[in-house]
Structures are given as C-alpha cells and as structure tokens.
Structure 1
C-alpha cells in the first residue's frame, strides 16, 4: 500500500510517499480502508521535528503521518465488535507510530474508532475527529457561563465556539478581523479583534472577567488576564504553560481519544450542531502541496487527502 511518512524532519519537504505492506490488526484492533484523512497542524509539527525538539516524542527513524481518518472497516482482530464494511471515523492519537492515517489502510485500536455519521459523506467525516475532540475536552474543562475562545476561526477554536454555544455558554471570540463573519456564524455572541488588548477588550464586555478561557491561539498570560479570580484557563499544548495567578486553575489539554466523546461528536455532526468545513481535497501523491499550503497559514476549513 501507499503511505506518507516523515524521516528527515525538515518541514513539508520531509513528507515522503512510500510503498509498504498492508498492516494487520491484532487483538482489539481494526483495519480501515481509508476514504479520506485530514491534514492537521500536528502533522506539520511532526514533519518539521518540532515535537522531537520540545521532548513530546523521542527521535525515531520513521514517523507515520495523519491523525483523522474516515473509511470502512476492512479487517478486525480478535475481540473487536465492529463489522467488516462498517463506515467509521477514527483518530490515531499516538505520536510514535511508524504508519498512521495518511495511507491507503490504517490499523487503529478499536477504542479510538466509532461509526461514521449517517448521511455525511466520508470526506467530510474525516474533518472533525482530532480538532473536535480537543475542543470538546477543552470546553468541558471550563466552569461557568461565560467563556473566551482565542483563535476562534481555527480548527480547534471554531469547534470550541460551536460546542460552547451548544452547552449554553456566552461566547466571546477572538480572531482576525477578516474572520469576524465566520466566527459569528459559528455562534459567537461577541467578537474581539485579536490585535486589540485582549484582556481590556474582554473586560469591556465582562467587567469582572470571564469564567474561563479556551486558549486555542496559545495567547498565554494575555488570555488569562481576561479570566475572573478563581476561574479556569484551558491551555492547549504548545508554548509555555501559563502560571496559576489569582487562584485561576490552569488545565492543559492534549488530545486523547475517548470513544464515547467521539460518538458524541458524531451525533452532533448528524444534527448539524457542529460543522464539517473542507477547504480543499488532494490526492495522496500530492500531499506535499497540502502540507505546504497548511504551513503558509490562513486556511479556513480542512485540507483533506483522498487515497
């Protein structure tokens, strides 16, 4: 089969298409024939070597690429309840795998897979797993009724806006001026230009500060200054961890796949509570173009690879 890997770790140019054996599922695992797989910033971080540099994973000869996947069950190992032919979505959440979802086939633990949303084409079903789970786990970590979301037009931030509104929170969203219409369509109650003084702008809306922040842009202490005393700062992995000031609880979120939460997201996709936005689709052999485009920034929606 064909698969994308990174060996040199020098950026998008490290993305290499190889021929390799089709993997076999072990006990409790499922093999998926890949229909589509999104490209994520974490894939850029792996191919550039950034995650090795910060110590999140050890060096290795070959890193597999791709986290999100949608496809059909092709084979199952002992103890797996999914039936062959079932449309599924999954997330490969382990860093140190030599083969991942940017491939024609992928083997995942059954607990990281759930049935795909009904009535949604698989290309779109490949867009929400990683970012949606991160946003769901971050929003659920916030306590209270008002939440600031930084990076609100991005992959994680956009889902955080939609999910926070679904959980009946008042949402103050920070993003670039060009993204104001998008962020408001996603459900934000208030919009702040990311170039403004964040804390001052938030406190003009919520003078005592917000109950919590989902810091998808990793603004750090600048975002924390907008939080009330004793509130919550949900810090997404990346950049220095902010301090615990004024009794604020800092909770760091790095994606872990929870099958129940993945199924919860899938139901929300079926109900159109959260969106599946595609910016463009590329063939697996054109993956370097997709990686380079994502690295340039400004992509709204997902870049998807189709084997």
Structure 2
C-alpha cells in the first residue's frame, strides 16, 4: 500500500510517499480502507520531534511510528476475531494509527459509524479537534448554560468546533479571528466576533471561560478579562524547540495560582462516547466541519507546510 512516512525527525521535507506493507490486524483491531485523514498539530510535533520532551513518547533519535496521521475516515476492510460491533463494509471515522496511507489500523473503541449525510473528508476532520474542543469546554472549562465563553483562534480546527459546541452547551459565545474569517465564524453560531486585527478582546470585556488555541496574550491581559471565578483553558501556544506550547501553559498555571480564577491545560483523551455525540450532532446538522484544503496523499508534505503557517481555516485533509 502507499503511505506518507518519515524515517527521521525534521521539516515536511523529510516526508516520503511510497509502498510499504499493509498493517497486520490483531484480535481487537479494525483495518480501515482510508478515504480521508486529517492533519493535526500532533502530526507536526511527531514529524519534527519538537518540543523535545515529545521524543520520550515518539522516539529519542528517530520516530517509532513512521506513518503519519491519527484522524481517519473510511470503510472497514477487515476485523479481528474479538471485534463485535463493526464489520466489513461499515463506513467509520475516529482515531487510527498511520492514517496517511491507503490502509490504517484502529481499535474498535476508537471508531464510530459515519453519518450518511457527511463526506469522508468532513468525518476525517472531526476526532482530535472536536475532542479537544468538547473536553476543553465541558470537562475542564465546566461551561454552563448562560455563561460567556471566549474562543481565541476561532477559525482554526479546534476553534470552529469550539464555537459550535459552546453554543450547543447554551453559552454566549465570543469568537476571536482575523478579518477574512469574521463572516464564517459568525455563521457557525458565534454571538459576538472580535477581529483581532482591529480590536482587543481583553479590554472592557469579561468572560467566564476562555478557550485559548493561540496563547498569544500575556497573563496580566488575560486576568483583566477573566471573571473572578472564571477558567482559562489553554490549548495552544508559541512554537519552541524545548517547551513549545507548554511555555504558555506553565505561565498560565503559575500566574493564576492566587485567587479564585484558575488555569487548566490538558491533552484530549480518546472517548467513544464523545465520538457518538459528534456522530449524533453531525447527523442532526448541529455540528459541521469547516475544511480549508484537501490534498492528495502525494502532497502530504505540502499539507504539513500549510499547517505550519498557522492560518488554516478549519481543517486540512489528506486523501489517498
């Protein structure tokens, strides 16, 4: 099968596309014929090996997992002997190992059936971004109906889902984005949109929950716009070889230690129940995917370069 692989850490230039063996199927595995795979910041960190602490998991000198991609949508090709809920021919989406390929393997509890009313590209984009959004808002931000939620970086992969999910939870939503994305973000359900090129969301405003995908404001600025009992949920931050996005997370957690305000950082956890929630919302039209660009597998390196710019509108997708 054809796959996009990286045998060493580096820029997208180290990615090659070629023939490798099809993955084997264990007793509790599902083999998926990939129709689409999403590009995530996770893939960039695994590709570059930065920040350096990720190598404790991904491999000290070289990547342990050479095929990139963890978000998949496709058709079940085969299942292991212990798989009971899914079968050959089922259309599915969820998390997999090595999704930038013609075939990928996933555990049964990381996949759910794809709604018939959305494309494989739309389904592939969901998992990591929507899990991050829902768990950031519901589990860590503990958002409640009627609260005022701010989404910084509302036009990106996580942000586009976060705007919709915050609205689903009954919050009043303020979204921060650039001029070109104002109409799109408003169409997703934002009650208020702040164009960061001409306005400052930290001035004369107060929020109960801030979901920050960018990490581009200092702690003093964030404190002045966070309600006295508010929660700052930090997901993104500046790139860096040693700490990377963790820099903003460390500053925030240290900076909010005094008083009732709190800062939270987390890594999204795989959850089949959350995937089932997304399936239901997608099926009902209450959640939708925004896709920036779809690249063929041969251009996987270009897809990662696009992600590197930090200005993708919604999600970037690769198709084999």
Using the size of structure 1 for normalisation, the TM-score is: 0.89
2:260 aligned residue: 247
SS of residue matched to 1:305? strand
Cα gap change, 1:147/1:291 in structure 2, threshold over 3 Å: closer, same or farther?
same
Q: CA deviation at 1:179?
A: 1.7
Query: For residues 126-158 of structure 1, what are the alpha-carbon distances to aligned partners after superposition, in whole Å with 9 as ceiling and x for unaligned?
Result: 111111111111111323411111001111011
Superposed CA RMSD: 2.0
**Among candidates 72, 77, 97, match of residue 75 of structure 2:** 72
C-alpha separation between the residues in 2 aligned to 1:247 and 1:14?
47
Assess if the C-alpha contact under 8 Å between 2:112 and 2:272 holds in 1. yes
Question: What whole-Å deviation, never above 9, does each CA across 1:3-45 have from its counterpart, x for those lacking one?
Answer: 2222232211122223221112212221111011112222222
Mapped partners of 1:19, 1:27: distance in 2: 25
Is 1:277 the counterpart of 2:277? The answer is no
SS class of match (1:213): strand
Distance (whole Å) between structure 1 residues aligned to residue 74 and residue 308 of structure 2: 26
Corresponding residue for residue 87 of structure 1:
91
Q: 1:234 to 1:22 in 2, by over 3 A?
A: same
For 1:199, what is the secondary structure of its paired residue? Answer: coil
Q: Does 1:228 align with 2:215?
A: no
Q: Does 65-74 or 217-226 show the bigger shift?
A: 217-226
Note the 1:204-219 alignment, pairs <5 A: 209-219=206-216
Deviation at 1:75, TM superposition (A): 1.3
Query: Who is 1:95 aligned against?
Result: none
Mapped to 2, the partners of 1:236 and 1:38 lie a distance apart of 18
Indicate if the aligned counterparts of 1:14 and 1:48 stay in contact, CA closer than 8 A. no
- Asked if the contact 2:156–2:315 (Cα under 8 Å) also holds between the matched residues in 1, the reply is no
Counterpart residue number, 1:128: 126
Map residues 27-38 of structure 1 onto 2, 5 A cutoff: 27-38=27-38
CA displacement 1:26-82 (0-9 Å, x = unmatched): 122211110111122222222222143555634253333112110011111132121
**Worse overlay, 127-136 or 59-68:** 59-68
- Once the two structures are superposed, the pairs formed by residues 186-197 of structure 1 within 5 Å of their partners are 186-195=188-197, 196-197=199-200
Preserved CA contact (<8 Å) 1:198 1:223: no
Once the two structures are superposed, the pairs formed by residues 285-296 of structure 1 within 5 Å of their partners are 285-296=298-309
* Residues 229 and 165 (structure 1), Cα distance of their counterparts in 2 relative to 1, 3 Å cut: same
Question: CA–CA distance in 2 between the matches of 1:185 and 1:253?
Answer: 28
Q: How big is the shift at 1:212?
A: 1.1
SS class of match (2:16)? strand
Q: Which moved more, 1:254-263 or 1:21-30?
A: 21-30
Q: Normalization by structure 2: what TM-score?
A: 0.85
Which segments of 5 or more consecutive residues in structure 2 lack a partner in the other structure? 237-244
Higher mean alpha-carbon deviation, 139-148 vs 57-66, is at 57-66
Which stretches in structure 1 are left out of the alignment for 5+ residues? 93-98, 204-208
Q: 1:27 to 1:177 in 2, by over 3 A?
A: same
Distance 1:47 1:224, change over 3 A: farther
Aligned length: 295
1:254-273 mapped onto 2 (5 Å cutoff): 254-273=267-286
Classify 1:260/1:61 alpha carbon distance in 2 versus 1 (closer, same or farther; 3 Å): same
1:273 Cα deviation after fit: 1.3
Contact 1:280 1:302 in 2 (8 A): yes
Residue 88 of structure 2 aligns to a residue whose secondary structure is coil
